């Protein structure tokens, strides 16, 4: 996406080389984050002007906070890790952008952030109907505003999970450790990024890498061998597995 400005126009951001301060700056100058925050402000002011009383729209917004971890889990496990998206030439590029590249190159901030054309429709599809049911148009607007803010929170947590530093918050240290295990040990568990609640419910939780076997597909998400030959579109746009692995080794040494 060419819509970049500020520090983003000049260089590619590498999380393994960044400090928390640099990350905060990159985060708030990233166009997608600015758009979520702007939309949240617009939706919140619509909710205020449409609301007849404060409680129902606030309930709708609160419901989004409660629902969010399930949505995060479901989208990550059943859409991003689905093996269907690379099987069609129409969705191959999308899948590469929204998850394959992030697993192959977990420190590249430009593919760590969700793509607006996928995140905004998802936020709208979850928040508008539920918010609308709870409190009409004011509820829909309040839920959408909450959805945008929650999504920004998720994006920040996800960035911090890939930043080489030890957070002071115990909760953040734990979710960070488990998300890194999802990336570097076994990608078939620890799908929750800001919470491990639904991993416990669906039995995909593991605490330590030693609790689960190492997965050979943690970086390529199973897009390899026969599948890579049968469904060549992602491969045609990507480096070979060995090149990605070599790049990760180079970064680990540097
Ligand atoms: Zn990640
Ligand atoms: Zn890392
Ligand atoms: Zn993943």
The secondary structure of residue 14, as a DSSP letter, is B
Identify whether 1 is part of a domain: no
| pLDDT tens readout for residues 9-24 | 545 678 888 899 999 9
Tally of domains in the chain: 1
Predicted pLDDT at 251: 80
Residue 71 C-alpha to ligand 1 middle, in angstroms? Answer: 16
What's the whole-number mean pLDDT along residues 165-169?
A: 93
Query: What's the gap in Å between 46 CA and the centre of ligand 3?
Result: 35
| Domain carrying residue 25 | 6-253
The 10s digit of each residue's pLDDT in 98-130 is 999 999 999 888 889 988 999 999 999 999 999
User: HEC states along 206-219?
Assistant: CCCHHHCCCCCCCC
Query: Residue 150: which of 18, 36, 15 has the closest Cα?
Result: 36
d(Cα 203, Cα 198) in Å, to the nearest integer? Answer: 8
Ligand nearest to the CA of 191: 3
Helix axes 31-50, 20-28, angle to 10 degrees: 60
CA of residue 106 to ligand 2 center, whole Å: 7
How far is ligand 1, taken at its centre, from the CA of residue 56, in Å?
A: 35
To which residue do tokens 């939309």 refer?
39
Asked whether residue 148 is domain-assigned, the answer is yes
Asked if residue 57 is part of any domain, the answer here is yes
97 Cα: distance to centroid of ligand 1 (angstroms):
13
End-to-end CA distance of the chain: 28
Confidence (pLDDT) at 13? 73
Burial of 70 (0-12, 13-18, 19+ CB in 10 A): middle
Q: Is 136 among the domain residues?
A: yes
CA of 182 relative to ligand 3 center, distance in Å? 7
């Amino acid at each position: 996406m060419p819509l970049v400005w500020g520090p983003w126009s000049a260089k590619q951001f590498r999380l393994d080389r960044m400090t928390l301060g640099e990350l905060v700056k990159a985060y708030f100058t990233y166009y997608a984050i600015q758009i979520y925050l702007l939309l949240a402000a617009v939706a919140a002011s619509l909710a205020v002007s449409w609301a007849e009383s404060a409680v129902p729209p606030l309930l709708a917004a609160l419901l989004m906070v409660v629902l969010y971890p399930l949505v995060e889990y479901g989208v990550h496990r059943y859409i991003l890790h689905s093996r269907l998206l690379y099987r069609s030439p129409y969705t191959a590029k999308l899948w590469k952008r929204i998850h394959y590249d992030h697993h192959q190159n977990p420190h590249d901030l430009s593919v760590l952030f969700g793509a607006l054309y996928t995140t905004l429709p998802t936020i709208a599809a979850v928040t508008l109907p539920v918010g609308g049911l709870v409190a009409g148009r004011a509820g829909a607007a309040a839920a959408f505003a909450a959805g945008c803010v929650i999504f920004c929170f998720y994006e920040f947590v996800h960035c911090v999970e890939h930043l080489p530093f030890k957070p002071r918050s115990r909760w953040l240290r734990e979710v960070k450790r488990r998300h890194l295990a999802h990336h570097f040990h076994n990608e078939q568990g620890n799908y929750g990024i800001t919470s491990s609640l639904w991993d416990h419910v669906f039995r995909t939780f593991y605490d330590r890498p030693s609790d689960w076997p190492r997965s050979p597909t943690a970086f390529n998400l199973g897009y390899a061998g026969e599948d890579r030959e049968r469904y060549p579109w992602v491969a045609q746009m990507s480096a070979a597995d060995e090149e990605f692995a070599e790049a990760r080794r180079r970064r680990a040494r540097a």
